[in-house]
Amino acid sequence: MDVTIIGTGNMARAIGTRVHAGGHNITVVGKDVESAEQVAAELQGAAGDGSVTAAGGDEDLHGDVVVLAVYYPDARGAVERYADQLSEKVVVDITNPVNDTFDGLVVPPDSSATQELAQLAPNAQWVKAFNTTFAGTLSAGEVAGQPLDVLIAGDEDDAKDAVSTLARDGGLNPIDTGPRRRARELEALGLLHMTLQERLGTGFGSTVKIIG
């Protein structure tokens, strides 16, 4: 699968590590090509068989899946910029739309970041995923010997299947949580997981795991 990752931060690196480990091809898109090239070089040096290339923000998007590996405000900017190019593509929203004090969500109470972004590019196939996982644990692919659960929400089964394949091929455990409207609950869970870090002293090294 050909995957475009928009972003050059820790989550972009972490998701790229799992995608590359699964043998898929990656294009890293940064605001400037130098930052994208640095991330691409790091990913290329990790274990994996897929190709890794870099692109600047002024280039066209390619690939079957586009991952918005940026903060929510930047995700809005990226979607506004690439709206036409996102048509018919699987677009993965990883954001938790938290406020400045990290104690609430900035989207309307009956909506989610994914729902708000989908209004900007309604012809894309939107999937919520990776928002309940932290970058460090995602890079490792496991916590305490347990593979990470990747909670996924979306309206199109084919789109969710594509994201599930990427997660599974990268050594993760995908879980379909239902339609796109479930993104609201996933974002609330992501916020809760973040706010528990200081109280638990886990230093963003924990994960949300469903065991049955």
pTM for the model stands at: 0.96
Cβ count within 10 A of residue 98: 20
Assign a CATH topology to domain 2-200: Rossmann fold (3.40.50)
CB-based contact 121:86 (threshold 8 Å): yes
pLDDT bucket at 133, cuts 50 / 70 / 90: very high
pLDDT at 60 (0 to 100): 86
pLDDT digits (tens, 9 = 90+) for 168-211: 999 999 999 999 999 999 999 999 999 999 999 999 999 999 99
Which residues are paired to 27 by β-bridges?
A: 4, 53
In the predicted model, is pLDDT for residue 137 greater than 80? yes
pLDDT bucket at 48, cuts 50 / 70 / 90: confident
Q: What does the DSSP assignment read for the chain?
A: -EEEEE--SHHHHHHHHHHHHTT-EEEEEESSHHHHHHHHHHHHTSS-SS-EEEEETTSPP-SSEEEE-S-HHHHHHHHHHHTTTTTTSEEEE----B-TTSSSB-S-TT--HHHHHHHHSTTSEEEE-STTS-HHHHHHTEETTEEPEEEEEES-HHHHHHHHHHHHHTT-EEEEEESGGGHHHHHHHHHHHHHHHHHHT-TT--------
pLDDT bucket at 47, cuts 50 / 70 / 90: confident
pLDDT at 59 (0 to 100): 84
